[in-house]
Structure 1
Amino acid sequence: MRDAIINILGTAEASDSAAFADSEMLDWRDGVKGALLSDGILKELDHARAIECDGCDNRCIEKVRIRKRAGGSVIATVYCGARDDIGSVNVPLDRLRRWGIDWDRLAHLVCKSLGASGPSENIVPRRLWRLGGNNIDGMKAELFLAVGLERAGGNDLRKEIRSHASLPSPVVIIPLKKPPGRFGDFRFVCLRSIMNVSNGRSLFSLDELAIVLGAKKKSKNAPVVVKTFPLSAGKDFTAVAMTLYDGGKMDVNISGAGSEVYSYEDMGFADGRRTPTTPNDLWGVLNAFAQFHGQITWKDNIGSQKERANLKKQVSLVSSVLQTFFQTNESPFHPYSKEDGYRTRFVITDSRTNR
């Protein structure tokens, strides 16, 4: 899977006209093609106008001729230019299909997944997007997505980033590797290091971004999501209802997909520093949301003083765990407001307070 992502990003970054044929996509394993199509990151382009002719062994590139037969069906052919005795060669229509990266859609998903203030703004068509600001584990950051910094016009992109950045040391997300040359105080993050594909969805990890930027250390005791309950395509957190029970159990229901009971360990809320494990602080925050029917304001006297002081950070971490558990880039919370505080997009209740 990682090799497929590297190949896709590298090819797409090299040229604005980069395209993938159906035959190439057959080599993409672990659901990469399905995830990129489902999330709209791959879009279909105009069909190929010239392809390799397989009429003989010379492997010439020939122009495609498309015509309609009587009755309306379409036929594609190439003419073998190497051997007159072969002449016209039929071409399966699927061989003409081409796909490319929809960078606007990718920028939108990265912006949304990483919690940038957004919405994503395309500054230079197909080359540069401003994603907005975010507080990443206490580190203020302004995020950009840049494509083809090594290509012609790369220096102009650098100037555009500088002119649009409102904070020093902008974070520039790039497909594969840091370009050569001097870029001042820019902080580069490779998209491949924060991107993953799982259960038919493309995921972008805020935790990995924090680790790459040095705002967070990779911990051996970090919570691990043991099980997942993926949201299917077309569904978001409004389709989710959760009920908290004694013993660290949560009944999780997705409309149309049924319900399952999971433990705090299953969902990724275990404190890995202890054996046997106990629920971590984030499970306590999720418990508080259940107690207050999915809404917490600064007025609510919940949890410890430390939890209240760190509520913004805690909610961000809970969001990351839930996104992994439900295998989605969608945010499980509404944007924060002073009036409403933090509100879940899903329904959550505590069975112990509703007896």
Structure 2
Amino acid sequence: MSDTRIPKFVSYPLIALVAIAAVWLGVWLSLQEQRGGIPDNMEATVLPEARQLQPFALRDHHGQPFGLAQLEGRWSFLFFGYTNCPDICPATLHTMKSVWQKLPTEPGEPGHPRLFFVSVDPDRDSLDTLRQYVTYFDPSFVGVTGKLDEIDNLTGQLGVLYGYDEKKNDNPLDYNVNHSGQVLLIDPQGRLRAVLPRPMIPPPWRVTTRSLQTITEIKIMLRVRQLLLFGLLAGFVVTGSANESLQFDNAWSPEAPPVAPVMAGYVRISNDGSEDVTLTGARCPDFARVEIHDMVERDGMMRMIEQESLTIEAGEQVELKPGSLHMMLIKPRRTIKRGETLEVTFETASGDSIPVSFEVKPQSARDQQHDQHQHHHH
């Protein structure tokens, strides 16, 4: 049975929904210190009253204490996950990296926000691993973790859920972690103010400046939608020599931080034949094993459900894409770099082997795919 860490106080029923999908809320970041009202213009679920957090004791990736004091003085974003996560965590951190690149302020300047990635997997995520992982996305991002009771202390106050799946073999460190996918916004007084939906795509931006009593303020309008990416980037088609009815389009894998023990793979599979085709497995010489997982949201957590087989019906297609069905490449046998090609072989129920080449691309390829998908539909 999986081990689920249930927060002591789940307060989502008390949260007032003042903004729903496609409604602008936002983050108001001033060049002056902000200790005032609720940030506006961000799509989010905003608490009707700010919730003051109680003391907790964790450590950041520098080995320094991380508690209430470290959340005071500036706006902060908290995201909970783990470095073995192949899909949601890197996608979210990449999205936040895109946000950070649009900010008119620099780290350390008044009004500049902070992002803390809190690992709920302290047995595998050492402070040094966290440091290498989060700074891969942005050097100002900070990794945080600690003892499980203190992680529970913080997640319980925030209504964040996480849990561990059963271990797959005798290796005590081989397991998946289920966790909430939201990003939480903490105000400069260390209070929970808003919960952002799981950001899977880079947000559109509009940045304006205005004068108010001789103070120049910067309003950054951030729109984060809970959407799924569609792997529609134009590219070549790879047709399996052992099964001419299947076509594999736009096979790619986002480059992962060097310390990440997993990578994700995305592809659109079309069945042009007259019979259903069932995939029963996959392998890649560069990884210890390859699995196909479905990402689902259940009981307030993002869960990865391993698929023993995948059937592509005749005349239909199945897409492996971020936040949904995806390929999980586990334990690389070498350093994988962008621009390289991963040779993956899919096995079918009929005994065929279908080789497919996956191009390793930078995380920004997520943005390009979304842009081309938008252009495709306009």
On whether the aligned pair clears a TM of 0.5, the verdict is no
Higher strand fraction (1 or 2): 2
Higher helix fraction (1 or 2): 1
Give the number of the structure whose alpha-carbon radius of gyration is greater. Answer: 1
- TM category, shorter: under 0.3
Task: With the length of structure 2 as denominator, give the TM-score of the two structures.
Answer: 0.23
Between the two structures, name the one with larger relative contact order (CA 8 Å, sep ≥ 6).
2
Task: With the length of structure 1 as denominator, give the TM-score of the two structures.
Answer: 0.24
